[in-house]
Amino acid sequence: MNTLTVLFLFALTAMLITEFWLSRRQIQNIQQHRDSVPDIFSEQIDLSTHRKAADYTIARTRLGLVNGIYSALILLAFTLGGGLQLIDDLSRQLLEQPLLVGVFFIITTIFVGAVLEMPFALYKTFGLEARFGFNKTTPALYFTDLIKQTALFLIIGVPLLFVALWLMQASGKLWWLYLWLTWMAFNLLAMIIYPIWIAPLFNKFEPLQDESVSKSVAELMQRTGFKVKGLFVVDGSRRSAHSNAYFTGLGKSKRVVFFDTLLDTLSSDEIVAVLAHELGHFKRRHIIKRISIFFLISLLALALLGWLMQQDWFYQGLGITTASNHAALMLFMMAGPVFIFFIQPVSAWFSRKHEFEADDYARENADARDLISALLKLYRDNANTLTPDPVFSAFYDSHPPASIRIKHLQSSG
């Protein structure tokens, strides 16, 4: 058996075992604390709300575990099971021009994968989310969104695939460097045009009308010296009862977006505190740091792919008999996450560190008590568990556990 095949199966098995172990810890820990609200939250969160968050998190964890096993089986079917080779053979039978073969192969693979994963996506939206009162999406809206997403993929993704495969074919040994430069330029452009042209295809964005909130936000912006294109409210309630606020865009296209559900929940001071936290990510250069890390990892990944695609064992070890640029690209995208799974805690740690730093910035420019109050309301309304397993949280969570985050804000104050 090919050495890469053995390594791939070992890594995949280790990933599944780890996911099962972590999920089991998470479920057991939440069940153990389901009937008792932690003391730090006892005055703000009632027992029924705490139980709902516990049941919701357990249900999501179980669904994620089953979905992970199912996705692993699909991955095996595509690779060692010969699925990719079958699609490659079909592509070569239907088309002759190498670039067309490659684009057809990748599009078909993505389409088949999306169809196979759709049952879980449908159940999550219309089953789990609906059961806990969060889903507001109608079937008509869901499939309208799906059609729009598919159209965008064809309009934007297909030309990008042509460019990528052409660079791999025509630009010599340094194709990976030219492709990296092209990919980074596209990502930067996407950050600029997304809030202006793409996001409005799916949601309605209207200028913030609440004068008290607008005034408070304007004062925060003036106090921190931060400029944005505008303050907008998005109709998040059309799809979900979850609430959020975020910055989007790059350069002059930066804008602040509030979910309408958030404005219905938080006071003006609490909104300013949440916004100050989000602003902290920019002021502490977290966005630039994350973009820089993404650029660096992308460069290293493409350089690695440039070497792997010259090795026959790379294709043979993952179920492909005929070497090609498009097969190498697809294999790398599908098998890569399995081999880097155990790096995830490092990424999660950096993200939690950034959240603490953003909280500190919010405390400096708003009232920490308002941020604590806002967070408690968001935990309550989004049914976030207050008692996650520490190991599960350290491995996966991009945000600190609720109790640790609140204590940090209280101690900072």
Closest C-alpha among 87, 152, 55, 53 to residue 322:
87
As a whole number of angstroms, the distance between CA 152 and CA 193 comes to 13
Query: How buried is residue 327: exposed, middle or buried, by Cβ count under 10 Å (0-12/13-18/19+)?
Result: buried
Q: How many helices (H) and strands (E) does the chain have?
A: 18, 4
> Which residues have C-beta within 8 Å of that of residue 272, sequence separation ≥ 6?
213, 216, 217, 219, 220, 366, 370
Catalytic residue chosen out of the listed positions 270, 355, 359, 381: 359
Residue 140's identity, in one-letter code, is: A
As a whole number of angstroms, the distance between CA 43 and CA 209 comes to 33
Using alpha carbons, list the distances in angstroms from residue 167 to 172, 173, 308, 327, 372: 8, 10, 17, 15, 51
DSSP for 84-96, please give it. HHHHHHHHHHH--
Determine whether 117 is an active site residue.
no
Determine whether 264 is an active site residue.
no
Closest C-alpha among 320, 312, 316 to residue 84:
320
As a whole number of angstroms, the distance between CA 404 and CA 388 comes to 11
Catalytic residue chosen out of the listed positions 278, 360, 367, 397: 278
**Among all residues, which ones are annotated catalytic?**
278, 359
